[in-house]
Structure 1
Amino acid sequence: MIGATAFVSAVITGGALLGAVPAAAADTGGISGLVWFDRDASGTLGFGDAPAPMSGIRVDNLSTGESTQVYAGSDGTYQVPALAPGRYRVAVGTGWTYERTTPGHVDVRVRPGRTATADFGLRGGEVCGTAWDDADGDGMRESGEFVLPAVQVTVNTPMLVQAVTDASGRYCAHDLPLGGEAVVQPQYLAQRGFGFTRGIVESFPGEPFDSKIDPVTGNSHRYALTTEALTVDVGYLKATSDLSTSQIIFEGQPAGKTTFAVGDTFTVYGSVFPSGNVPERLGATLTVPAGLRIVDRAGGMPSTVQGRSVVGEFPQRRTPGANEFIGAQVVVEHAFSAADVTLTVHPGDFPDSDPANNVLTQTINAV
């Protein structure tokens, strides 16, 4: 799509986009026109408006009933040449739902060697916002906090629209189909050291944060798309992270027991948790010594059995302080001495401030 300013300039200055339709013969004429997104709903083309490419134009001969279908080009213009003289009805349609800011159809007369004109204005929805560095992590945009340019923002509607924040941190997705819903999905900036700050989340839709992004899912709420402009700001926070192992426990055995008998069955659990100021990716591996056979996985962390290990990771980021468990149901198959159960927390999205607590071991015996 050409830029809105260049588009309007070309049309207003006369002819870079709209020209006369060449007649196939002296006894035929034509119809040409423009379909544009009328962003200010003025009914007239103005600066800031944009072309509406691929809009369908239907031309009906009111005398014969014959119809012709054409589509607007990338610049929003269309041409229907070589029409017999007479009266025609010209109508605009799209594959999406838009408000008309001009009549949806126009009746014109085609004369030999002449070109009739029929233009159409459409209006859709709009989602705009600002991405910023929420330095104090309170979810509120305050004086002195810097904006973030070059952040990609996806607006998921019946069509997928992508925008990028400019030098002022501002993004806008224009001309969205009406009647559906929009979900804003901003870029996750882990490579730049940012997570999402506190924001409105599904369970607490009334919280008064300026950031409208759930810091766990990275998505906004679902917004109904109307012609009323939506503002969805995106708060980021420079991340600190410490992923830690917490404990190894043996369920079904007396507390403190570390020596087991061949044939014993029990469940080994390891707990891990994220600390820091933003939700973090969280996974872990629990490995048992030779002599124990894993019968099945256990614990709240999604995981799979891989040999003598259970390996897991949550599909969504976890909030700081959430203690999560990964486990293995085991049976003692043969004796061993002074072997370790090992719990390892996986690397997250951000540098770990204390790698020393990423691994925990528990020595056990079997007789």
Structure 2
Amino acid sequence: MRALLLAVLIVITCTPFAHAEEGALVTVFWDRNTNGVRDEGEPGYRNAEVALRDESGQESVVRTAADGTYRLPRAGRWTVSHEETKFVTTTPTTVESDGGAVEFGVRGAEVCGTVWLDSDFDLQISEREIRIAGHRISVVDDPDHSTTSAADGTYCLHDLPAGPNRLQSEDRARVDGTAWIFTKLTDESFESGSKFDVMTGQTRIFDIKVPGSVITGYDSGFQEPRGMGANAGVITIDKIDYDGVRVGDLLIVRCDYAVGGNVPDIRAATLTFPDGLKVVRAFGDHDLDKEAQEVVVDGQKVTVRTKGRVHADEQSEMSAHVEVQHAFAAQNITCEVLPSLYVPTVGHMATTTFEIGAADSGPAPSGTAPAWRMAVAVALVGVAVLVVVVWRRRRRA
């Protein structure tokens, strides 16, 4: 009996009539030539919202898959809609389907430009200058919108929504060693052929006011770094007494350093202390926000590194508060500038030293007091003698 029931169950579950008939396919695609038909090379619109209403009047909103498609949950009559005001819809926005496929064409805005090497350093693109191929341009914080420049350096970002946008030009420091050219985004009257910032490679936020419009002239210029180099300044120490450094002293050690040249660069330097000096606190450049630099203490080393580029004409300072823990013979405190984006190796000018030693916390080893202490002692003795003389005279009187 059980075998018979099992056989009946298998027949019922396997019969085609036990499954709901598959629904129609809905597709939303980027109609880049605005002809209302999906042509080769026109991708699907991922995560697009589609409104549905079935025969019973039940409504829902769904989203398309990565390829821009959505399969209706079952066969039957459906009302399917798609419309977004930040794009142009090139097909009817509402379609009645009784099993047939549904397609919605959408056109976004385009932003186009050229990537080039500014070989004459005039901040302007000219016919004789090299165009850069394979360079990535993208929308900030939007991985769905990115492209690479063609052989002639041109690019177009497609399918952009109306409203605020910001573009990112790839950092080529570790690609071919070039840098973004100077662009003063805070001054609209400043004339530069590039719309990408020299420090970040980003444009200012710009507004696409007309859905589906084409915007040109978003060129990105690069230049060869020149005169790049690094140097470390003199190490200075606060709170050194006349008789030298002793156990228990607290010292403030400072070092200036810089990376120079014609393009902004990151900066990094290390202070290294001899055994006997304990790093209590460490600081980066006080002229930079704490968020803009990283300060790391690793045993006897303090390393400061900017998280982004800084201008070449700015000098940085690092400092550390150290405590003398035990006596030690004369050794060097070292300040060393580290390699950067455009200075892969550093020369002898990038390191400075300061010789220091520490004695025990007792009296000075020579046993002799300094001149000012002797003078004070003599003065105190003289005052004491004068007080005694006056006191005796008063008693005699």
User: Normalising by the residue count of structure 1, what TM-score does the alignment of the two structures yield?
Assistant: 0.74
Task: Kindly provide the amino acid, as one letter, of the partner of residue 250 in structure 2.
Answer: T
Deviates more, 1:31-40 or 1:312-321: 31-40
Displacement of 1:305: 2.0
Corresponding residue to 1:264 among 249, 255, 273: 249
Number of the residue aligned with 1:284: 269
Number of the residue aligned with 2:191: 208
Corresponding residue to 2:82 among 92, 105, 111: 92
Number of the residue aligned with 2:234: 247
Post-superposition CA distance 1:21-48 (Å, at most 9, x none): xxx9xxx9x97776442335x5544879
2:130 aligned with 1:146: yes
Number of the residue aligned with 2:325: 333
Number of the residue aligned with 2:203: 220
2:219 aligned with 1:233: yes
Match of 1:121, SS?
strand
Deviates more, 1:128-137 or 1:340-349: 128-137
Task: Kindly provide the amino acid, as one letter, of the partner of residue 195 in structure 2.
Answer: K
2:165 aligned with 1:181: yes
Number of the residue aligned with 2:385: none
Deviates more, 1:120-129 or 1:182-191: 182-191
CA separation of 1:69 and 1:322: change in aligned 2, threshold 3 A: closer
| Aligned equivalents of 1:334, 1:322: Cα separation in 2 | 37
Match of 2:167, SS?
strand
Aligned ranges 1:1-367 → 2 under 5 Å: 35-39=28-32, 42=34, 44-45=36-37, 50-54=42-46, 55=48, 57-58=50-51, 60=53, 64-65=56-57, 89-92=79-82, 97-107=86-96, 119-156=103-140, 158=142, 160-201=144-185, 203-204=186-187, 206-226=189-209, 227=211, 228-231=213-216, 232-240=218-226, 241-253=228-240, 259-300=244-285, 302-352=294-344, 355-367=347-359
Post-superposition CA distance 1:143-169 (Å, at most 9, x none): 322111111222225554221111011
CA separation of 1:163 and 1:311: change in aligned 2, threshold 3 A: same
- Which is higher, the Rg of structure 1 or of structure 2? 2
Displacement of 1:325: 0.8
CA separation of 1:45 and 1:233: change in aligned 2, threshold 3 A: same
Number of the residue aligned with 1:13: none
Match of 1:325, SS?
strand
| Aligned equivalents of 2:40, 2:194: Cα separation in 1 | 27
After superposition, the CA RMSD in angstroms is: 3.7
CA separation of 1:169 and 1:59: change in aligned 2, threshold 3 A: same
Q: Percent same amino acid among aligned pairs?
A: 26
CA separation of 1:343 and 1:68: change in aligned 2, threshold 3 A: closer
CA separation of 1:365 and 1:74: change in aligned 2, threshold 3 A: closer
| Aligned equivalents of 2:80, 2:347: Cα separation in 1 | 69
Post-superposition CA distance 1:146-195 (Å, at most 9, x none): 11111122222555422111101122221123335333242434231212
Post-superposition CA distance 1:248-297 (Å, at most 9, x none): 1123459xx89434443221111110111211121110012223222211
| Aligned equivalents of 1:188, 1:278: Cα separation in 2 | 13
| Aligned equivalents of 1:342, 1:163: Cα separation in 2 | 46
CA separation of 1:289 and 1:204: change in aligned 2, threshold 3 A: farther
Number of residue pairs matched by the alignment: 328
| Aligned equivalents of 2:74, 2:284: Cα separation in 1 | 73
Deviates more, 1:126-135 or 1:63-72: 63-72
| Aligned equivalents of 1:286, 1:218: Cα separation in 2 | 31
Match of 2:82, SS?
strand
CA separation of 1:135 and 1:252: change in aligned 2, threshold 3 A: farther
Displacement of 1:74: 7.5
Displacement of 1:98: 2.6
Displacement of 1:80: 6.8
User: Normalising by the residue count of structure 2, what TM-score does the alignment of the two structures yield?
Assistant: 0.69
Match of 1:357, SS?
helix
| Aligned equivalents of 2:60, 2:345: Cα separation in 1 | 68
Q: Would you say the 8 A contact 1:342–1:360 is kept in 2?
A: yes
CA separation of 1:31 and 1:315: change in aligned 2, threshold 3 A: closer
CA separation of 1:217 and 1:76: change in aligned 2, threshold 3 A: closer
Number of the residue aligned with 2:390: none
Post-superposition CA distance 1:306-329 (Å, at most 9, x none): 212211111111211211011111
More strand by percentage: 1
Match of 2:348, SS?
helix
Displacement of 1:51: 3.8
Match of 1:193, SS?
coil
| Aligned equivalents of 2:237, 2:74: Cα separation in 1 | 85
